[in-house]
Structure 1
Amino acid sequence: MKTVLITGANSGFGLLTAIELLKKGHHVIATMRNIVNKDELIEEAEKLGAYDRLSVYQLDVTNLAEIQLVKANIESCYGKLDVLINNAGYCQGGFVSDLALEEWQNQFDVNVHGVLRVTSEMLPLLQRPVKANIINISSVSGMIGFPGLSAYCSSKFALEGFSESLRLELLQENIFVSLIEPGSYQTKIWEKSLSSIDTDEMDTDLKQAVLSYAKKSAHSSPDPIEVARLISRICDKEKVKFRYPIGKGSKLLSTAKRLLPWSLLEKLILRNL
């Protein structure tokens, strides 16, 4: 049985991953920004007969005091962590010309600095002779920039660079860092992202095309259980890779970014929109 900490476990990939890990017999420490959203996870744990292996804590990744409190509780109850899954994040939609500086700062504070805060605090619990894992949830948007998602893509690019450095720093300590790079999936991240966009700002053909494409993707994307099951498998693997692209177009985009000239790539992206 492994002890696994997941941030942002109230919905989407985090919720589904917590359930998959409970099914496998692991102890799951599920954290979420708003603890009132815990009911669905608790109900699923009770159905599985796994409630005794689930701990739920309030944790806003922008709040260092809450992170330190969760760390103290983990240290007191378990003394260690085997896996840290940095899943908490959100997508700030909008074009550069329409986004306020505060919106950029908030995006980075959660998606980048939040991962840094949690990882830095939990690292001592992972540093033991046995193998440990840090799994950071990135995105296909961390491979390539898309119009209308400049803040989100920038935050995921930053997460990719942070994870590359962290992987190299921790390999000799037997801590393996991995990146999950999902394409578009049916999670609430799309709903929340689209709700933040002022439709009055969608005053050009490109903006309208991007908004239409995003709405279509939100409803036609695959089941996010695929990602949860991948994360669950990685938790049990002895040897883990660094990057795991998954989902429609994710591997193709990764290959295209490496091999195609940018002039061709941008034409393909804009044509697809």
Structure 2
Amino acid sequence: MSEKGEEMKNAIVTGSSSGFGLLIAMELARSGFKVTATMRNPQKAVGLQEIAAAEKLEGNLCIHPLDVTCSSSIEEFKVYLQSLPSVDVLVNNAGFAQGGFSEELSLEDYRKQFDTNFFGVVAVTQAVLPYMRKQGSGKIINMSSISGRFGFPGLSAYSASKHALEGYSESLRLELKPFGIDVVLIEPGSYKTNIWESVGKVTMKENSPYEPFKHAILDELKKGEAGYGNPVDVARLAARIASADEDAQFRYPIGIGVKTTINLKHVMPWKVIEKIVMRKLKFSQLTIRQK
């Protein structure tokens, strides 16, 4: 119960074992929500539980197993939802980044990326919508990325999944507005939980023609590490959106250079953008050497 004697609002956060998910779950708990922090392996909740215990917020936190790519897990989640007095906020955070170059990625790589980053979001959202619709309120916060607005080399699978999430969220927001439900996109750039690190973990094929491009991308990311933002800022943004009484705006780009990148894409011809990226990554010189 809240200080005013009102029943606590309920928030659900997917992918809460680490990164943005863990931080968002804690910020929501601090904001007075009863948070269901979901994750594939509840044994990985130790860090989250320790933080909650240190701040005496254990009563605001419930750990629940959920694999957003597994139909039986989704069905068990639907049963769990029946026990909640309300479903006020859903943060679709579960996701990962599949690095690699398109020619060398398998179709299965793309399918796994979409299963989590896109179809997992759809599955969890469909599970909570009947509750939000009947109560005539709710907020769905989808964690997108700058990669959902701009396709970076070496991240075609990830970028495609986030572009799909953006299109889905646009339609969903318009569908749910009449029912008093807000759909929101948070679009982070580079943060210290940097999901782009997956690019560096990709095993390239022997004598891959893309090896020089991979190293060029990693070198550029390394140069930018000093400017990575604090992921707590993203978590606090999510909590502010969830707690606000007024309707939320649709997109929330956040991070150094994110708004500039998005705005430039809207106003500059693609040929100019292409030249900037190629020059930044020194791809033109690399291409010449390949010939």
- TM more than 0.5: yes
Give 1:73-222 correspondences, 5 Å limit. 73-76=80-83, 78-187=84-193, 189-198=195-204, 200=206, 201=208, 203-217=210-224, 220-222=227-229
Change (3 A) 1:217 1:70: farther
SS at match of 2:134: coil
Change (3 A) 1:29 1:37: same
Paired residue for 1:241?
A: 249
- Relative to the length of structure 2, the TM-score reads 0.88
Paired residue for 1:19?
A: 26
Question: Are the aligned partners of 2:154 and 2:199 in contact in 1 as well (CA < 8 Å)?
Answer: no
Paired residue for 1:252?
A: 260
Q: CA deviation at 1:2?
A: 1.7
Deviations 1:56-105 (A, max 9, x none): 011111012112212212312x2320001100000000011111111011
Change (3 A) 1:204 1:51: closer
Larger mean Cα displacement after TM superposition, 130-139 or 152-161: 130-139
Match for 1:35 among 37, 42, 45? 42
- Relative to the length of structure 1, the TM-score reads 0.94
What is the RMSD computed on CA atoms of the aligned residues?
A: 1.7
How many residues were matched structurally? Answer: 272
Structure-2 separation of matches of 1:217 and 1:64: 39
Matched, 1:54 2:54: no
Question: Are the aligned partners of 1:190 and 1:218 in contact in 2 as well (CA < 8 Å)?
Answer: no
Paired residue for 2:76?
A: 69
SS at match of 1:127: helix
Question: Are the aligned partners of 1:186 and 1:222 in contact in 2 as well (CA < 8 Å)?
Answer: yes
Q: CA deviation at 1:206?
A: 2.6
Structure-2 separation of matches of 1:219 and 1:191: 15
Structure-1 separation of matches of 2:135 and 2:48: 32
Structure 1 unaligned residues grouped into runs of 5+: none
Larger mean Cα displacement after TM superposition, 197-206 or 158-167: 197-206
Structure-2 separation of matches of 1:60 and 1:215: 32
Structure 2 unaligned residues grouped into runs of 5+: 1-7, 282-291
